[in-house]
Amino acid sequence: MAVRNFWKSAAGAGDDLTSDGLRHAILDDFEQTGLAWIWASDASGCLNYLSRGAAEAIGVPLASLLGKPVAELFETDPDGPDDRSARPLGFQLKAHNRVSDVTVRCALPEAHTGRPVWLSLSGQPKTDSRGKFHGYRGWATDISVEYQRKIADSRMAEFDSLTGLYNRDRMSRRLDGMLAAFKAAKRTCALMMLDLDRFKQVNDTMGHQAGDNLLQQVAERLKSIIGDRGEIGRLGGDEFQVIIPDVDDRGKLGELAEKVIQIISQPYPIEDKRAIIGTSVGIAIAPYDGLETEELVRASDLALYSAKNGGRGQFRFYSADLKDEEQERQLLLDDLREALAAEQLELHYQPVVRIKDNLVVGMEALMRWEHAERGWVSPGLFIPVAEDSSLIGPLGDWALHRACRDAMEWPDTVRVAVNVSARQFTANGFVDIVSDALQASGLDPDRLELELTESVFMGDSEATDETFRALKKIGVRLALDDFGTGYSSLSYLRSAPFDKLKVDKSFVDSCTQADQNSAKIITAIIGLSKALGMETTVEGVEAFDQLEVVKARGAELVQGWIYAKAMPQSAILQHIESGVFRIEPSGPEKHRPDRRSMFRRIGIIHGDHRYDAVIRDLSKTGAFIEGLVGVPDGTAMVLDLGQGQLVVSRVTRSEGAQFAVEFETSLVSDGAGGLCTRHRVSPYALAAASMPLASLPQGASPVGLAANPASPPMFMQVQVGSGG
């Protein structure tokens, strides 16, 4: 206020001053006080006066400032904590508006060599009695200390203090602004939601300080993966969010999600221990899955819950048919608790076969649940739900007792393997539960094999070693499951008394492919196992070409569909004759990893007609379809897989109502074991065709076809049933 009053008296018509000399003296005295500096511009907007003290504070010679446009000399801070700083200074000066307390700094490069100097700039346009503009007269004050404090306070309000990432509020505002701008520009934006798997176990077993350290390391890994492709935020707890602008290619997004999962799942050094976690990822893309922030966040949340419920360590794209997974998860847990109490769960057993004579030497116990309404519920769905609750303890206790009891009806040469989760293994009393199961059944301890994953090493190493010693004292066998995936470490084999390594199915799936190293990895694991005096079981062998590869690489024990799927106890007993149990291999000659049998209704677009048909088999590069008669080889058509997924195809083989097609562009993984298109019909393109702008609905793609086709249909459509 004092500055404004002074300026009105000193920069007015001069009626109250007796001479120019006195005016100059007063101005000099005022400038030397440091309360404020004076500036002025001419009618063209160039600076023609500035207090020498201002130039000294900025660190630029006065001569370098005078004569230059004020709008080019000073810049505002668009990302600053003061909303007024975002107002364009150049626009205000050009409009000859009054300038009031605009925060600026000198835009010249030489002014940025020292500490940043921020000025609060004000000014009034000077006009004569005829309204002619003569320039600005104004003042400026140094607000550097105050403004830096505002910046620090703003950073604290926008950044997560633990990881340095953006916080929930900042990410929400950023997404709001980005989606609004992108809608106008018809651009796309992907949103990834991440949730750490087994993080609570780190906090519980290693302490909150270890948990904080782990979150900081996760943040650093995310920054190294995402780089400048997107913006990362921590929403709280173990939840993270990534905004990726201008990417809607689900192939690229899936590859990025897989990379995130792989790197986040590597071990974390914390003091003298190692923590092992994982992550699940949900992905939604604007404008396909949502146009507004709330809609897109909900879509990515649903995709995340689907990924977690699907077995964790996975990613999912949002689909319009996803349910409220959190509610579904709780309902599933309640039903599982009732099923355990009512003894509605079963154990099925998959044989482990010795290749040289096809003799069954072991059985892996696999939990099965037939729900009255849901039908058979996948263990990959209900086991993670149990692990997140207190139910995994009684569930594991029941499995151990049942498996030991069932194994007593098998030949003495056949072992039983039971999966043990990390939460079971580290629970108090686990060794006693194993002893009780053996004692109650009478099973020889050497016939019980406990299958563990490397996650058991995540907790207290001394307690883990003590549990190992106690189990070996009892006499049970230990197997390391899923060896070779994720974060395998040879140090485990040095410190833990394992009797067996199990080669993960993922290596077997690609062991026959020339461009993969899977066969070499299988060879290395088998060689390592033999060198350490351990057995090796190769999992997931389904076809004869796979069997020949693993046999040539030194495998002796195999578990997979080529011998048998998991069977109930009644079927196992029917196979056993005279105390000997042999199974001859039976299966396809060659493994086709990307082929999926299904019954899925789709649309087929040809010319100006749309037909209904059914996909029987689907792969990345083609499909086998039923439902149209008279489709000649070489016919070009578009498959409508629903939700904006259109696939340009060409018929390669046709017979009766069935035909095979080859895709122009390969499909990509949807993260759920299925396939999807890289791109979809854009809602922006539909809006341009006079359709409402909205996210893509479930079902057929809203592709407009002629209401009155110009030509008759070329093919005859026939009805196809699920058993046809």
Residue spans in the chain of domains classed CATH 3.30.70.270: 159-322
Q: Are strands 359-371 and 500-503 parallel, antiparallel or unpaired?
A: unpaired
Phi, psi of 244 (to 5 degrees): -125, 105
Q: What's the pLDDT tens digit per position in 501-540?
A: 998 888 888 787 766 788 888 898 899 889 889 999 999 9
Residue spans in the chain of domains classed CATH 3.20.20.450: 328-575
Confidence of residue 723 (pLDDT cuts 50, 70, 90): low
Q: What was the pLDDT predicted at 680?
A: 92
Q: What was the pLDDT predicted at 10?
A: 46
Place of tokens 């394992």: 498
Q: What's the pLDDT tens digit per position in 114-138?
A: 778 899 999 999 999 898 999 999 9
Phi-psi region of 498 (alpha: psi -120 to 50; beta: other; left: phi over 0): beta
d(CA 399, CA 365): 8
Q: What's the pLDDT tens digit per position in 446-488?
A: 999 999 887 777 666 778 889 999 999 999 999 988 776 655 5
Q: What is the DSSP string of 47-104?
A: EEEE-HHHHHHHTS-HHHHTTSBHHHHEEE-TTSS-GGGGS-HHHHHHTTPPEEEEEE
Q: What is the CATH number of domain 159-322?
A: 3.30.70.270
Q: What was the pLDDT predicted at 14?
A: 43
| CATH architecture assigned to 596-717 | Beta Barrel (2.40)
- Structure token digits, residue 665: 């562009």
556-562 long-range Cβ contacts below 8 angstroms, 24+ apart: 556/354, 556/355, 556/356, 557/352, 557/353, 557/354, 557/355, 557/361, 557/362, 558/352, 558/353, 558/355, 559/350, 559/351, 559/352, 559/353, 559/364, 559/502, 560/505, 560/508, 561/587, 562/586, 562/587
**Candidates 2.40.128.120, 3.30.70.260, 3.30.450.20, 1.10.357.10; correct CATH number of 2-150?**
3.30.450.20
Q: What is the CATH number of domain 328-575?
A: 3.20.20.450
Residue spans in the chain of domains classed CATH 2.40.10: 596-717
Residue spans in the chain of domains classed CATH 3.30.450.20: 2-150
Whole-model pTM over 0.85: no
